[in-house]
Amino acid sequence: MLRTHTCGELNAAHIQKEVTLCGWIQKIRNLGGMTFVDLRDRYGITQLTFDHATSIELSEKAQRLGREWVIKATGCVAERHSKNRNIPTGDIEIIVEHLEVLNESLIPPFTIEDESDGGDELRMKYRYLDLRRNPVKNNILFRHKLSIEIRNYLNNIGFIEIETPFLIKSTPEGARDFVVPSRMNQGEFYALPQSPQTFKQLLMMSGYDRYFQIVRCFRDEDLRADRQPEFTQIDCEMSFVEQEDILNTFEGLVKHIFKTVKNIELTDIERISYADAMKYYGSDKPDARFGMRFTELNDVTQHRDFKVFNDSELVVGFVAEGCAGYTRKQLDSISDFVRRPQIGATGVVYLLCMENGSFKSSVDKFYAQDDLKAIADKAHAKAGDLLLIMSGVTEKTQKQLCELRLEMGNRLGLRMAGEYKALWITNFPLLEWDEDTMRFYAKHHPFTAPKPEDEALLELNPGEVKANAYDLVINGTEIGGGSVRIHNKVLQQRMFKALGFTEEAAQQQFGFLLNAFQYGAPPHAGIAFGFDRLCAVLSDCDSIRDFIAFPKNNSGRDMMIDAPSAIANEQLKELGIQIKN
Amino acid sequence: MLRTHTCGELNAAHIQKEVTLCGWIQKIRNLGGMTFVDLRDRYGITQLTFDHATSIELSEKAQRLGREWVIKATGCVAERHSKNRNIPTGDIEIIVEHLEVLNESLIPPFTIEDESDGGDELRMKYRYLDLRRNPVKNNILFRHKLSIEIRNYLNNIGFIEIETPFLIKSTPEGARDFVVPSRMNQGEFYALPQSPQTFKQLLMMSGYDRYFQIVRCFRDEDLRADRQPEFTQIDCEMSFVEQEDILNTFEGLVKHIFKTVKNIELTDIERISYADAMKYYGSDKPDARFGMRFTELNDVTQHRDFKVFNDSELVVGFVAEGCAGYTRKQLDSISDFVRRPQIGATGVVYLLCMENGSFKSSVDKFYAQDDLKAIADKAHAKAGDLLLIMSGVTEKTQKQLCELRLEMGNRLGLRMAGEYKALWITNFPLLEWDEDTMRFYAKHHPFTAPKPEDEALLELNPGEVKANAYDLVINGTEIGGGSVRIHNKVLQQRMFKALGFTEEAAQQQFGFLLNAFQYGAPPHAGIAFGFDRLCAVLSDCDSIRDFIAFPKNNSGRDMMIDAPSAIANEQLKELGIQIKN
């Protein structure tokens, strides 16, 4: 090794010891006859000291060094005169005797500091420099630690990691596939997996009964903030289990993760049905760190003179505790918030529950004080509280009020970093109607089993069929989801039919799976977690990009290596394809 | 859980206990009033017993079961009358009280036994059934165990696993890339990585200093037996190290693997230079489980009347100990072997060292007994030994004699399963001349550094430049390879030039790397191991396919899911490509 120690490990116990360190130059300070260099590596920072009085040559060499140069320095560990309590090596410095420049550096395009002066685009282009910064480095190290903990936990309870193929078959159901032209089978294409779903189900049929894989998946979707064309999934499946077993097993995993990487004892994960999540939070991924649960107010608001409420499918509100003192300006800013195009509401009705027992509201002229009291009572608003009410068609109104709830949570400081609330959302509908294409789509995916008691509805009333499907939500972010699977050929065929597949299309695309069901498929169920997102949520971070070493931008482009790019005509010819003009 | 225990864990200690098992029916035997069912799951086999005298209904239900049906059986653990010492559960049986059929099965297309009656193609098509067989299952479990051991070992010595992208940039150097058309950037393509080489080097520049990744890689090559278009690599890189540090670090990993998964204490790994490997074994991946090292015999064979040897660049042989008694037929079969088109030699010269001190040879008429004695002495052949000699141009002859050596090793039973001999091959040439394209190619890859003392030869005599490059070879199979890397822009440019890149092409394809070298690139080196092959070699198995859950056939086709396949015109249109007729 070129070094004897790292830049993070030396302390008072090493004083008098001769050491060699390697690293990057973080900072140089020339103080009269002394030159101080902060040397950085993955493990920390150590101060190097060059004394002009001892060696002019060495000292002058040190003064010529620049930021981000790579050096090797040998010297003696000495006690510092002015100790730095902020870093583990702050008690010591190295009195350098030998200095070797291993590589020079141009002046980096942005500062390698916790707070960099580089813009997003510049840091993406020079990602290898951005990765030197502590905040990014800590994310990458955190991700590694998390993956080790997850693998060992699952291994210890009998799960085995099995690698599934990346060059698979394209299926039109679900998101858009990335495809790979086959040279050996011209005119044909592989697809990159959106998930190893069918393979893990086949592994259950093969008897592997506890499978997992931390695996890259691909989706050729138009990218929103926080979506990447390639992402990593913790993919799991079990045989001879019911929903309850999956929830318990992976609640164990989640608790283990919190304990080992966050040192947090997570309480039991609350379960809430999809219907209740929509009813009380207007969302199937509620942030349950704070209350403000919704109350439906139709019965106490309708049948008065207020046409807006009378005509509404849903009138629903929540209480912002202690906010009755809000000023006109504050109330207006709430109205402004819901009118933003992203929310798209026409307004919000407020009801201030005054300390003296009276009520003020934006709809005073339609409701008497008694009416307002009845509304407040229904919503469990107390004196001093603010009740916020929205109305309209059910789903849209729920969604809008959900946004307002989250906004109020932010304004009131109720969405605390470092605080975690996990939920299981259960009893999802099996299918979802799409108005644009006028057909049903699978809410989770086409392999999710209907609840046995709802099977008969699959043809009669598909929209009403519930599934043993579940999501894990932490702090309002969906971290994972799964379901009990179909393990019966006929039921799977009925499901494909409900999704509008012809029998031929189903056989052509999923024939191998349908066939496999005939050779002793066990009951099985599973779940998959978004690993990038899990890293981000555990770090109270909004962007998954911060946890991916080499992410792509919103056009799916790797700015650093400049990919995708044109390829040689020769390559296209070999593949038997051409670019369409 | 649907079961209380697995089919592999019950024993005498559980007698009298009420248990529920789930699994697949391996075998049914009807013996008069008794029906015995062998129930199988991932963990083993347990005997279920149905007594006609106790319940006619249950017994008849059991008799209707078929092979590979999935059932759930509840009953009492009882001591067996005739114990089966061959399986861990052989002391007990379950007296079944409740039986539930979870799923029926058609008769499988081949037997689910250790030795199956199914041909290769059938088993590939029904891979999910093949995966139920013990030999395949054990391979998959072994692979998992190996990956856990490798990850934890590397994690414990400070390596961190960092995921690198799969959608990268195509480069014409090296093997052929699989490419992925970009929908969002039409006319442009991603490539799937042949290895994360440049990314791991960038991570060194980012300061991560000990990186690893167990990662899928892709090569669009014409497939030979034992090549897969997608394969898994254990990819590693370190900073501030020299070749010696890499060899020592990964020798530690190899020893750990042998200890933990094979319970074998591997001795120190012998190091042998590329030149010596070629000289003594005719191969850069020698099987060193046995001797038969080559001796060059030019000086004692040439300058006689035997024109074949006189005209040969190389005359070389090895000793097959104790084989002087070989019959004419045995000697002919050796000649036949080397004349096979795969070997392509014109013949082999033999020299029998008789017990009485005389010599017999196929070239008796050209050499006197004294000449033959001199040849035998040079090769250290003793009385009773057989000396086999081949001649011709150096490299071809070495290769042919290498094949013969391996064949003789097989015939003499010297290549023992369960015995392991690892070697480090070092000092590889940096470049390799290709006669077809009349240019140099990188022996390892374009990022390998020349030995510092040979740098000046890069322009003067490229073929003579040696590199700090190394391979790990176990039992004649290359398991891994790596090198000290270039970390200097100018040297990398000189290397690209030696490989025939124009400056523009180098900049266009590897500009990001060349740029990165300018911002403080540390000295670094690394290695990558073929994970599939490592699994196979550790299991004394020839085929990597046996260690891949869902492999492709030699046409790159997944027979089970039938991929690659045609995709919809709509998809092609979205991607802006068309199939060329």
Using one digit for the tens of pLDDT, what is the confidence trace for A277-311?
999 999 999 999 999 999 999 999 988 889 999 99
pLDDT surpasses 80 at A62? yes
Predicted local distance difference test score (pLDDT) of residue A174: 75
CATH fourth-level superfamily of B12-103: Nucleic acid-binding proteins (2.40.50.140)
Identical topology for domains B138-272+423-547 and B290-415: no
Q: Which of A137, A182, A565 sits opposite B169 (nearest CB)?
A: A565
At B542 the pLDDT is 87
pLDDT digits (tens, 9 = 90+) for B80-121: 989 999 999 999 999 999 999 999 999 999 999 999 999 999
Give the model's pLDDT for residue B302.
86
Give the integer Cα–Cα distance in Å for A199 and A176: 19
Considering CB atoms only, which of A40, A176, A241 is closest to B1? A241
- Interface contacts (A, B; CB < 8 Å): 351
Share of chain A above pLDDT 70, in %: 100
pLDDT value of residue A226? 77
Report residue B61 as tokens. 């239900």
pLDDT attached to residue B223: 74
Residues 6 or more apart from B281 whose CB is under 8 A from it?
B287, B288, B293, B294, B402, B405
Name which of B1, B163, B234, B531 to mutate to probe chain A: the one with the most chain A Cβ atoms within 10 A of its Cβ.
Answer: B163
Is the pLDDT at A172 greater than 80? The verdict is: no
- Architecture field, domain B138-272+423-547: 2-Layer Sandwich (3.30)
With both helix axes pointing from N to C terminus, report the angle between A394-411 and A274-281 in degrees, rounded to the nearest 10. 60
Q: Do B550 and A192 touch (CB under 8 A)?
A: no
C-beta atoms of A564 and B132 within 8 A = no
Cα–Cα distance, A448 to A452 (Å, whole number):
12
pLDDT-derived band of residue A227, with 50, 70 and 90 as boundaries?
A: confident
CA distance B173 to A48: 43
- Sort out which chain A residues have CB atoms less than 8 A from B162's CB and list them: 140, 143-144, 549
What sign does the CA torsion over B303, B305, B306, B312 have?
Answer: positive
Mutate which of A168, A190, A534 to disrupt the B interface (most B C-beta within 10 Å)?
Answer: A190
**Residue at B400: amino acid letter:** Q
- Domain borders along chain A are 12-103, 138-272+423-547, 290-415
A104 chain-B contacts, CB cut-off 8 A:
520
Residue A357's pLDDT band, with cuts at 50, 70 and 90, is very high
Give residue-wise pLDDT tens across range B554-578: 899 999 999 999 999 989 999 999 9
Tokens standing for residue B34: 């008794």
Please give the average per-residue pLDDT across A424-443, as a whole number: 93
CATH value of B290-415 in 3.30.450.90, 3.30.1360.30, 3.30.70.240, 3.40.80.10: 3.30.1360.30
Closest CA to B123 of B109, B138, B113: B109
Pairing of β B577-579 and β A210-218: unpaired
**Residue B154, CA atoms < 13 Å, CB-side half-sphere:** 27
In whole angstroms, give the CA distance from residue B95 to residue B77.
6
Is the pLDDT at A474 greater than 90? The verdict is yes
User: What is the model's pLDDT at position A223?
Assistant: 73
Q: Which ranges of B386-430 does DSSP label H, i.e. alpha helix?
A: 394-411
Largest CA distance in chain A: 93
| Contact criterion met (CB below 8 Å) for A474 and A483 | no
Interface pTM, i.e. ipTM: 0.95
Give the mean pLDDT of A518-531.
98
The overall pTM is greater than 0.80: yes
- At A236 the pLDDT is 98
The DSSP call for residue A327 is -
Positions in chain B short of pLDDT 50: none
Residue A435: the pLDDT is: 87
Q: What is the mean pLDDT of residues A94-111?
A: 97
The pLDDT assigned to B171 comes to: 80
Statement: residue A359 has pLDDT above 90 = yes
Mutate to test the interface with B, among A199, A548, A567 (most CBs of B within 10 A): A567
